[in-house]
Structure 1
Amino acid sequence: MIADVLADAQARMDRAVEAAKDDFATVRTGRANPQMFQKVLVDYYGSPTPLSQLASLANPEARSLIVTPYDKSALKAIEQAIRDIPNLGVNPTNDGNIVRVTMPELTQDRRKEYVKIVRTKGEDAKVHVRGIRRKSKDDLDALKSDIGEDELVRAEKELDALTKAHVDAIDDALKRKETELLEV
């Protein structure tokens, strides 16, 4: 029973760390990266559809990205969805066949803004991991009548170590992203 609770907590915390890393990848670093558009939703015939399902993304140069839609009728919607991305500061151009996105040069102030955004995303991920810990601790407390006090204390220590390891993993990913953002 204890092992099940701890295994579930570990699996959920692992997913939270991966989600945080994916979130960090969506923040740009001066290079055009198709991952920045990973979470872009396009209004395609009235339903929000991920951009990756509507178009192919190519990176011909360091600061440009070409979006080639599979369906040319979605061109305007894709262009609008890219234009509406917050904190990106790009103005996509549409030539009738493709959407070309050119990334502007990052200023030092803009880099610092991105660092703040990444820190906020990192803190949100750590709060999520702590929420998983809290729920798992409640699950362990519910087992208190079935298991001994010593087993409960041991399980809580394991849960705390698990939480610390995952929070540290988020912090490491955050430090790498900050370094990448501030690199000129």
Structure 2
Amino acid sequence: MVDFDGKTFVKSAETRMRKSVESLKSNLQTLRTGRATPDLLARVTVEYYGAETPLTQLASVSVQGSQLVVSPYDKSALQDMDAALLEANLGMVPSNDGEVIRLTVPQLTEERRKEIMKKAKQIGEEAKVAVRNIRRSANDDVKKQSKELGEDTTRATTDDIQKTTDKIIKEIEAVVATKEKDIMKV
């Protein structure tokens, strides 16, 4: 009999699944909910000296009322940032005054809210797929060792992996549902 701890194996799979949930949460933060928040610009990258660099590393982003104010650390990159913000298709038009870039966050229309909800569901579905892939990988690893483990241990471990997967999928659905409520709140 091989020294095999099913609980440790399941914990390892759960840890990897939890990383998918954390990734989901950070991805959902970048979706607009009608309020100005610096997280809206988290995915914007700027061509800076030949390298794609996150905007948040090149400038400070602050909130002033319903506006986002982007203050570049290097004023020579202002035009590149302006172009990157236009390209990002955020639904906001950047206003560049030579010192800072201002983005007015408009109120969301019903149609735009529905589009953002679809995107939130898509991000949630991607997280579920990632979790299911982790489950499949963990089950494959258990099956590879099934001859040494025995039928009972193999079945118990795969059952525990499935229970963990179900729990994490419910958590993902709850996170997405919370974001959907936030998006639909006027």
TM-score (normalised: structure 2) = 0.94
- Partners of 1:119 and 1:112 lie apart in 2 by 10
Equivalent residue, structure 1, for 2:56: 52
Shift of 1:37: 1.1
Shift of 1:42: 1.0
Indicate yes or no: 2:100 matched with 1:98: yes
Shift of 1:7: 2.5
- Partners of 2:27 and 2:113 lie apart in 1 by 16
The amino acid across from 2:168 in the alignment is H
- Partners of 2:7 and 2:59 lie apart in 1 by 44
- Partners of 1:17 and 1:91 lie apart in 2 by 32
- In the TM superposition, what are the counterparts of 1:1-12 in structure 2 within 5 Å? 1=4, 2-12=6-16
Indicate yes or no: 2:47 matched with 1:43: yes
- Partners of 1:12 and 1:60 lie apart in 2 by 38
The amino acid across from 2:78 in the alignment is L
- Partners of 1:6 and 1:74 lie apart in 2 by 48
Equivalent residue, structure 2, for 1:67: 70
User: Among the aligned pairs, what percent are the same residue?
Assistant: 39
- Partners of 2:86 and 2:117 lie apart in 1 by 22
Indicate which of 30, 36, 39 corresponds to 1:32: 36
Equivalent residue, structure 2, for 1:169: 171
Question: After TM superposition, where is structure 1 displaced by more than 2 Å over at least 4 residues in a row?
Answer: 1-5
Shift of 1:174: 0.4
Equivalent residue, structure 2, for 1:80: 83
The amino acid across from 2:107 in the alignment is E
Indicate which of 150, 153, 161 corresponds to 1:151: 153
Which ranges of structure 1 fall in alignment gaps of 5 or more residues? none
- Partners of 1:164 and 1:79 lie apart in 2 by 44
Indicate yes or no: 2:142 matched with 1:114: no
The amino acid across from 2:135 in the alignment is R
How many residue pairs get matched? 182
- Partners of 2:111 and 2:12 lie apart in 1 by 42
TM-score (normalised: structure 1) = 0.95
- Partners of 1:34 and 1:70 lie apart in 2 by 16
| Secondary structure of 1:66 counterpart | strand
